[in-house]
């Protein structure tokens, strides 16, 4: 896919004027750059009169998600300040939020992140009038079915069928479908960012993705101790599903299925792109096979 052209700062200043911020100098617009590889994100810090904003090129259904779910302002997401078009592409302005991500997890920041997720999901629990907004369950199921077609194992396929069945029946709320630890900013408050994939979907989607890819090794890309993982599982249950009448046994069974789905991601990638030599392929294959055995054994099928 051809990489999209990066707009000049002059063009960004024109976009800001269209958004009600005239007179922003080019020196007040700074691209966000990945510290690890120097990659320039399609997002810019805008400083004006002592205030900070983020101008971003919208991805996927991100703009629809902000309009549908975060207007008026919510404490668990950056405030939405308007949108415009630039070179035929959608851009939007949002609040700049101070804070770091959760890739190096600690208990205090983990609980802040969970409180934000729980508050959001409590507010949108079973909001049927929003089922058709942004990423719908029908759209999500297409991606799920595609992943399942690349597993290449009867064991994994049998457990995957149980996941698909459970996915359709699980209570829904607002979910960030890519809630990896880097998609949280935690400062005075915790906010969920990068809403390219968001919608009213089975409630465990976000939480499972948040914890599934963390490891205990200190040099892991997503680091989380076993104690913090167990705390997260208990804390999330006590503060959301339990309050909606879901038993711990049902929650635990469902969480296993959603974690299994996350583990299958790297199996799909390895098989689809012939990258089975990647360390992550072997790592996630073992996790998925172990979880598949647990899932099927619980149903008396293994």
Which is more confident, 40 or 20? 20
C-alpha distance from residue 94 to each of 43, 169, 194, 223 (Å): 11, 35, 11, 29
State how far the Cα of 149 lies from the Cα of 47, in Å rounded to an integer.
47
* pLDDT tens string 103-112: 999 999 999 9
Position 5 pLDDT exceeds 90: no
Distance CA 101, CA 109 (A): 9
Which of 46, 63, 95 represents a domain boundary (last residue)? 95
- pLDDT single digits (tens) 190-244: 999 999 999 999 999 999 999 999 999 999 999 999 999 999 999 999 999 999 9
- 207 and 120 assigned to the same domain: yes
The span from the CA of 253 to the CA of 233, in Å, is 12
101, part of any domain:
no
- Asked if residue 2 belongs to a domain, the reply is no
Confidence of residue 299 (pLDDT cuts 50, 70, 90): confident
How much is the pLDDT for 3?
Answer: 67
Residue 176 structural domain: 107-298
Please tell me whether residues 161 and 257 are part of one structural domain: yes
Among 288, 299, 297, residue whose Cα is nearest residue 157: 288
Give residue 2's pLDDT.
54
Q: Are residues 175 and 277 in the same domain?
A: yes
Q: Give the pLDDT confidence score for residue 1 in this predicted structure.
A: 45
pLDDT at position 302:
62
CATH number at residue 62: 3.30.200
In a domain, 85, yes or no: yes
Regarding whether 113 and 35 lie in a shared domain, the answer is no
- In the chain, pLDDT over 90 holds for what percent of residues? 94
Give the pLDDT confidence of 141-195 residue by residue, as tens digits: 999 999 999 999 999 999 999 999 999 999 999 999 999 999 999 999 999 999 9
Residues 83-96, mean pLDDT to the nearest whole number: 96
Give the residue from 44, 72, 95 where a domain finishes.
95
CATH number at residue 155: 3.90.1200.10
Could you say which of 48, 63, 95 is where a domain stops?
95
Average pLDDT, the chain: 96
pLDDT band at 8 (very low <50, low <70, confident <90, very high): very high
Let me know whether 120 and 58 are in one domain.
no
Residue 274 lies in a domain: yes
Is the domain of 163 the same as that of 185? Answer: yes
Number of structural domains (the chain) is 2
The verdict on 89 and 111 lying in the same domain is no
């Amino acid at each position: 896919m051809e990489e999209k052209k990066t707009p000049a700062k002059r063009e960004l200043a024109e976009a800001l004027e269209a958004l009600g911020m005239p007179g922003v100098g080019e020196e007040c617009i700074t691209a966000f750059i990945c510290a690890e590889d120097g990659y320039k994100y399609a997002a810019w810090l805008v400083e004006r009169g002592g205030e900070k904003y983020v101008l971003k090129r919208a991805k996927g259904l991100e703009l629809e998600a902000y309009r549908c779910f975060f207007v008026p302002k919510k404490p668990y997401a950056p405030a939405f300040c308007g949108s415009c078009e630039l070179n035929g592409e959608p851009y939007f302005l949002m609040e700049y939020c101070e804070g770091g991500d959760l890739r190096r997890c600690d208990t205090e920041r983990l609980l802040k992140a969970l409180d934000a997720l729980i508050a959001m999901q409590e507010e949108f629990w079973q909001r049927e009038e929003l089922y058709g907004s942004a990423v719908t369950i029908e759209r999500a199921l297409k991606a799920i079915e595609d992943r399942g077609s690349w597993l290449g194992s009867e064991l994994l396929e049998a457990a995957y069928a149980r996941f698909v069945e459970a996915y359709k029946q699980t209570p829904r709320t607002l979910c960030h479908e890519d809630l990896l630890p880097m998609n949280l900013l935690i400062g005075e408050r915790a906010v969920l960012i990068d809403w390219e994939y968001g919608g009213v979907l089975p409630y465990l989607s976000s939480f499972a993705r948040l914890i599934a890819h963390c490891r205990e090794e200190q040099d892991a890309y997503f680091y989380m101790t076993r104690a913090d993982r167990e705390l997260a599982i208990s804390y999330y249950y006590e503060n959301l599903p339990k309050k909606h009448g879901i038993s711990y046994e049902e929650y635990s069974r469902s969480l296993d299925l959603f974690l299994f789905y996350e583990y299958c991601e790297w199996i799909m990638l390895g098989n689809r792109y012939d990258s089975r030599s990647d360390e992550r392929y072997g790592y996630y294959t073992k996790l998925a096979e172990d979880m598949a055995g647990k899932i099927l054994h619980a149903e008396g099928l293994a």
